[in-house]
Structures are given as structure tokens and as C-alpha cells.
Structure 1
Amino acid sequence: MELRSLEIFVAVAEENSFTRAAERCRVSQPTVSHHISGLEKEVGEPLFDRDRRTVSLSDGGHTLLPYARACLASARDAGEAFANRSRAIAGALNLGTVEGVEWSPLPGVLRQFHDRHPAVRVRLQSGTTAPLLAQVAQGQLDAAITARPLDDLPHGLLSKVILADEIMALVGRDTQAAGEGLLDLAQVVDERLITYDESSGLQAIIRRAFGRSGRELRPAFSTNDVPLQVALAEAGIGVALSAGSDPAVISAAGVVPLRLDPPIVYEKIMVWQDRPLPSPLGAFMAVWDELASDETWTAPSPRTS
């Protein structure tokens, strides 16, 4: 059976008229009669009861009608599926991230994005804030999740806040400070400090907080490797100043994370160029807006016992 014949058959059945079916299908009435006759020969019985004034379905026509409709619907669905394939988004999405985004919406958004757009290759690049911002500005990355810098963003970049975070002081469990729960910045200054190096935007944030309290940040050990920061604090070398959202801090068993007074809080943002979005990035942002909306996420608190 040909789809065109089934289409004309359904039209006659719904219009109860060869004339109106011809108008609906934009063919001549003899063409309608030809297709119906062909179907009747194929099934071996009449599909319509005809008289001079009316046309109605025969028993055979009632049997064929649901199958004809199902065939036409399946053909339409197949056409739409292949049309969607031709419109499928492909290419690459180059996304940079700082550490500590595990508790942001990013993992869930990436899963949904890949499910919907499997032809897009996603490349994730880890780094620190300043280099990632520069790579987005230069077009080497489509977007990046970074700490909000103290200075203005590079020209031509847009941003949105995705995560609120806080710097914690990590002390060994056998130290006197471990039982205090809150650590004054004045107490921290004289300790051997372990924190991020100058390439990290977090060091600038910590340095500014110290300056606002009339103190100067003088790290004894500088590394952007947060598990190493934790290990050094656990070994009793000094006090680590680390992002509370980092998994190494959240799961640390050998140190006690203490809040600072005054607190050192900061935001993580997503940045991208202020220009028409490439298709992969536009699709990624659409999934982000759908799943994460404009909500600012707060990282879970590190373990304290």
C-alpha cells in the first residue's frame, strides 16, 4: 500500500465525499477514485458504500481506517525524526573550570546536555581563574567557571553567579585551635600559612580579606593542590586556607575546618564572550537555564567531626 493512497482514503473517510477529499488532497476527483479503486483491489473488498448522494465506510473501510491513520502518523514521525537529525547540534564545547565545582549544578547539566546532544564533544579543562578568563576572552574556551576576580572582568565577557563559597582554616585535630569552631584572622596571621599561589584568584581574595583586617598575607607554603594543602595541615605543618567547597576539604578526616572571623566569602561565576553563542554553547546554556535557573548554589559544609 502506498502512503499517498492511504492519505486519500483517510480524507474520503473523514470528509464522506470524494469531491471534498479531492479538494483537501489537492488532486482531481478521478485521481481520488483511482487510488480508492487500487486499494480496494489490494484488500479484495469495497472500502466504501456509495450511492448518488453519500459516501460511507464499509465494514472493510472501518477495518482499514485505524491502520491507515497509524501508518500516516508513523510516516510523519519518521520525517520529523530525520528532520531533527539534520538540525542536530554537533561540534565541540570547550569548557574551563576551577576546582571545587563538584557541588555546583555543572555535573547534572553536563549529563542532560550530553543526553540531548550526543554529537557534541565536550572538552573540560582545569585551571586557575586568571588563565581561564584570558582563554575565554581570546576565544580558546567557549566558557569557564572561575572565582569572581577582584578587578573587572576582561572586556567583552559576560558572567552569572553559580556558587557561593567560603575560605576555611584547616587545622590539625590535635591542635589547640581545633576545638574553637571559629578562628579570628588575628590568630591566623602568626601561624605558618598554607594556601594558594599567586596564579590562583583565591589568593588575591584571601589577601584582600587580610588587608581589610589590617593584616598582611604571608604564606609559608603555596600550592594550588588542595589535597596537598589538607595533607600539610594534617601533618601539623601549619594552617591551610582552602575553599570550603573543595571535595578534599569536605571529606578531610585528619583536619578540622574552621570558619574565619570575619568570614572570607566569594562567588564562583560562569563567564562567556558577549557575542552570538556558538550552537554547542547556546544549547549548553539553555540546559543550564532550564535545570539551574538563576539560583545561586551553596556548597555543603565541610565535616567538623
Structure 2
Amino acid sequence: MRYVVAVAETSNFTRAAEQCLVVQSALSHQIARLERELGAKLFDRTSRRVRLTPAGEAFLPAARQALDAAERAQAEVAAAAGEIRGRLAIGAIPTVTAVDLPTALKDFHLRHRQVRITLRSGASEEFIERVRQGTLDVAFLGLPVGVRPKGVRGRELARGELVAVVAPGHPLAGREGVDLEQLSDEPFVDFPQDTAARAQSDEAFAAAGVRREVAFEVTNVDFMTSLIRQGLCVGMLPAAFATELPDLPALRLRDAPARMEHLIWSRFPPSPAAAAFLSALDVRVSSTPD
């Protein structure tokens, strides 16, 4: 199963063998043996590419679950002997500020060197689903005030307001504060529609009865701030995050959108590594599912 997952992820038998630390002939032999036992081909192989067959597509999720369960069992045995090991998969929005995540990860790594840490940056709604599915252990979210993630456990971390961020030299750059109507003629950069990050701004403009043009939709904060620096648009970012951009003027909004940062984890008992990480953040979790 591990070989099948490696080939599926690399689309290449040679790279999969290198990843699994075996010779290619041994990997190919074991996959062929598994295909005979299953009575179905898992891969279509040509001289140029390797791709999953319909049978392989059906087999892959169950194989991943089985491997995760085996790894979890090993981690539980090690934890019973006092050793934390296994995998810790984290999701985080790029503008998280309630926790100094790099420092928290460094401290955790120094304390639990046998834990493999992975970090994924992305959108809050994606992370809620991935925590529900178990492909992420914990996630840091940013949601409009009053919105609570469903199907997971969680804790509110901090509440803050958004500020308008403009280019140096922008006509509004010297203002102490503005309202949304004063920004209505500006082209905006924002996150894609149907994301929690975008909803905060859209709802605020709707509440103020103001229309705006989102000319640039991006998913990367660095790209967003680069567009602002070029004077192409203005943006709205959490006030605490904007302090990390000293070269970009941040304008206080008198009718500012607010957002809440959340930490979430599964409704089911966490792995030893996840439990240790949550404990390091002063979060106590129950050993029984909701």
C-alpha cells in the first residue's frame, strides 16, 4: 500500500522507489503482486506517464487510511512508553497573528524531535473540512465575528479589526482614519469570492451600503501586498498583521470589518502528537469523542 501511494503521488515508479528507499524492480514486483491479489490493475503505464486506473482511484483513499491507522497505532504504543512520535499536520491562514506559529513550531520540534511536522497555508473553509476528514490535526482560522466552525472542536483565540492598506504616496496615506465610502472608488485586491477572508470585507461594505470593485483576486498575501506597493489597488488586512508591513501605510477604518481567529481540532481523540501540540498551546482536550 505504501508503494501504491508513493507511485500515485509521484506519477513515476523510479521516483516512488527512491522515496520508499527500495530498488524499482522490487517496488514494481510488489505492486504487480498486489494487483494480482486484487484482480485489477491499479495503474496505467506508458513510456511517458503513470496514472491511476478507476480501480486505483478507488483503492487509494482506503490505502491512505490504512497507512494512517498503522502509523497512529505505532504512535499510541510509543506514547504509552512516554515517547511522542508520529505526524503533526497543521493548517494555517497566512495572516494568523494570535499565535507566533513559527516560534511555537520551533519549541515543539525541540521538545519532540521524533514528530514529523507538516504545515499547509490556505483558506479557513478548506481547513475546517480537512480537520473534519482527519487529514489535518489542527488548524488556525480567521472567520467573521459570529461565524463558528462546524463539525470540529475549537477555541476562539483573538478578535481584531481590519485596516485599509495603501501604497506609500497614496492620497489617503496621511489620513488618521477613513470610512468605507471614502474607499468606494478605489480598485481593491482581495481573496477569492466564497472564502471566509473575503466575506469579512464584503459584509462590511454591504452593511455600509457601499459598492466596491475587486479588480484583483489572489490567494497569496505576499502577492497581495506586492500589488498594493505598486499602487495598483488598496487592500484590507487584519490590523495586527498590518503592523508587520512597516513600508505600507495602514488606515484605521471607522466602520471596520471585524474578524475572529480560531484554533480548531477534531471532535475525535487527537493523536499523541496533536495532543502534545495542543497542550503546548494550553489547550486541554477530551479523550472521548463528542
Of the three residues 150, 154, 161, the one matched with 1:154 is 150
Q: How far off its partner does 1:278 sit?
A: 1.4
Q: Secondary structure in 1 aligned to 2:135?
A: coil
CA distance, structure 2, for counterparts of residue 120 and residue 280 of structure 1: 7
Q: How far off its partner does 1:168 sit?
A: 1.8
Q: How far off its partner does 1:213 sit?
A: 1.2
Aligned match of 1:121: 116
CA distance, structure 1, for counterparts of residue 104 and residue 140 of structure 2: 13
The TM-score, its normalising length taken from structure 1, stands at 0.61
Of the three residues 90, 95, 103, the one matched with 2:90 is 95
User: What one-letter code is carried by the residue in structure 1 that aligns with 2:96?
Assistant: V
Aligned match of 1:135: 130
Is residue 2:272 matched to residue 1:276? no
Query: In the alignment, is the contact (CA less than 8 A) between 2:98 and 2:157 conserved in 1?
Result: no
Larger C-alpha radius of gyration, 1 or 2? Answer: 1
Aligned match of 1:200: 195
Query: How has the CA–CA distance of structure 1 residues 114 and 231 changed in structure 2, closer, same or farther, with 3 Å as cutoff?
Result: closer
CA distance, structure 1, for counterparts of residue 282 and residue 263 of structure 2: 12
Of the three residues 242, 251, 265, the one matched with 2:245 is 251
User: What one-letter code is carried by the residue in structure 1 that aligns with 2:244?
Assistant: I
**Cα deviation code 1:22-56 (max 9, x no counterpart):** xxxxxxxxxxxxxxxxxxxxxxxxxxxxxxxxxxx
Structure 2: segments with no counterpart, 5+ residues: 1-77, 284-290
Aligned match of 1:221: 216
Query: In the alignment, is the contact (CA less than 8 A) between 2:190 and 2:214 conserved in 1?
Result: yes
Within-5 A mapping of 1:1-305: 86-101=81-96, 104-148=99-143, 151-155=147-151, 157-198=152-193, 200-246=195-241, 250-253=244-247, 255-289=248-282
Q: RMSD of the alignment, in Å? A: 2.4
Worse-matched range after superposition: 84-93 or 128-137: 84-93
Query: In the alignment, is the contact (CA less than 8 A) between 1:185 and 1:260 conserved in 2?
Result: yes
**Cα deviation code 1:180-233 (max 9, x no counterpart):** 121111111121111222253210111111111122343111112222222222
CA distance, structure 2, for counterparts of residue 90 and residue 173 of structure 1: 48
Q: How far off its partner does 1:288 sit?
A: 0.8
Question: Would you say how many aligned residue pairs link Structure 1 and Structure 2?
Answer: 205
**Cα deviation code 1:50-107 (max 9, x no counterpart):** xxxxxxxxxxxxxxxxxxxxxxxxxxxxxxxxx9993201111111111123662433
User: What one-letter code is carried by the residue in structure 1 that aligns with 2:99?
Assistant: S
CA distance, structure 2, for counterparts of residue 105 and residue 226 of structure 1: 17
CA distance, structure 1, for counterparts of residue 79 and residue 182 of structure 2: 62
The TM-score, its normalising length taken from structure 2, stands at 0.64
Structure 1: segments with no counterpart, 5+ residues: 1-82, 291-305
Worse-matched range after superposition: 125-134 or 218-227: 218-227
User: What one-letter code is carried by the residue in structure 2 that aligns with 1:109?
Assistant: A
Provide the identity percentage: 26
Query: How has the CA–CA distance of structure 1 residues 84 and 158 changed in structure 2, closer, same or farther, with 3 Å as cutoff?
Result: closer
Aligned match of 1:72: none
CA distance, structure 1, for counterparts of residue 110 and residue 80 of structure 2: 14
